[in-house]
């Protein structure tokens, strides 16, 4: 598997794989935010929010999963930053599971959302398997003669917990007709106002990626703290934009630049 441009570009196959998994963690942030939005995010039912208490709990759980993914991403990005240069925040388009099946990691379609429990569990299992294969490798010396840092080993150990994390979705939705609970499913605008909302969503996502890219590129620089604060501010804006989109029945596009 070739490494996406702009991430970790080194000969070491372990770092190569970790660079790819960094792009997967990014994709999972988008995945879980999409699930949360599809179920109604945190809106009231009358405003397009979750239709039942179980779906409200699942929407909140998916948002929490997305927030947790941001922490996972940061943990892995920090661990890798001392080993190889990082570039633009790429996002994986697919992952291959242990059986050789390719799973798309593009923002989920309505059909995929209707089967979200199986989809999320399949993706999580595939990601866990990739991390599990790295466990023995990060415990040995690198080609340069230095052991992988404790930060890398911790990130790899934490990487095998995706499946246990997403189990909360089945806990809430196992007995629910998921297709009937979807509140936002469109990605195409029907009015000029909706087109503006989608453009704002894409712009916010791009600004967030730019801020995070510059923060992780050199966290010790004088501007590191500034980029971090900018990223946090864009996350708050994204929350507001997502609420507006869901109210209109739209999903955030998460269009990559």
Dump pLDDT digits (tens) for 159-195.
999 999 999 999 999 988 999 999 999 999 999 999 9
How many residues belong to the chain? 257
H or E stretch at 55: helix 53-81
Q: What would you measure as the largest C-alpha separation in the chain, in angstroms?
A: 61
What pLDDT is recorded for position 169?
97
Tokens representing 30? 């988008």
Q: How many Cα atoms sit within 13 Å of 54 on the Cβ side?
A: 14
Which domains, ranges and CATH numbers included, belong to the chain?
Answer: 13-184 (1.20.1260)
What pLDDT sits at residue 110? 95
Evaluate whether 92 touches 207 at the Cβ level (below 8 Å): no
Q: Which of 181, 201, 178, 180 is nearest to 189 (CA)?
A: 201
What's residue 16's pLDDT? 87
* pTM (two decimals): 0.90
Beta bridge partners of 96: 102
The residues of the chain scoring below 70 in pLDDT are 1-11, 82, 84-88, 140-147, 219-220
pLDDT for residue 85: 56
């Amino acid at each position: 598997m070739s490494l996406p441009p702009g991430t970790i570009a080194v000969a070491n196959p372990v770092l190569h794989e970790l660079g790819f998994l960094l792009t997967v963690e990014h994709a999972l942030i988008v995945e879980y935010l999409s699930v949360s939005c599809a179920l109604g995010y945190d809106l009231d039912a009358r405003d397009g929010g979750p239709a039942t208490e179980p779906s409200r709990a699942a929407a909140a759980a998916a948002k929490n999963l997305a927030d947790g993914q941001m922490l996972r991403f940061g943990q892995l990005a920090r661990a890798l930053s001392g080993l190889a240069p990082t570039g633009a925040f790429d996002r994986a388009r697919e992952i291959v599971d242990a059986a050789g099946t390719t799973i798309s990691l593009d923002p989920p379609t309505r059909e995929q959302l209707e089967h979200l429990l199986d989809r999320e569990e399949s993706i999580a299992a595939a990601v866990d398997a990739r991390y599990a294969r790295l466990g023995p490798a990060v415990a040995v010396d690198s080609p340069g003669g230095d052991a992988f840092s404790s930060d890398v080993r911790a990130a790899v150990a934490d990487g095998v917990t995706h499946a246990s994390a997403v189990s909360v979705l089945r806990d809430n939705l196992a007995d629910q007709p998921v297709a009937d609970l979807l509140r936002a499913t469109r990605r195409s605008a029907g009015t000029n106002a909706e087109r503006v909302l989608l453009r704002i969503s894409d712009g916010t996502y791009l600004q967030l990626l730019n801020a995070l890219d510059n923060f992780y590129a050199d966290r010790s620089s004088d501007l590191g703290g500034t980029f971090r604060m900018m990223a946090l501010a864009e996350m708050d804006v994204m929350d507001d934009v997502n609420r507006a989109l869901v109210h209109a029945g739209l999903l955030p596009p998460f269009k990559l630049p």
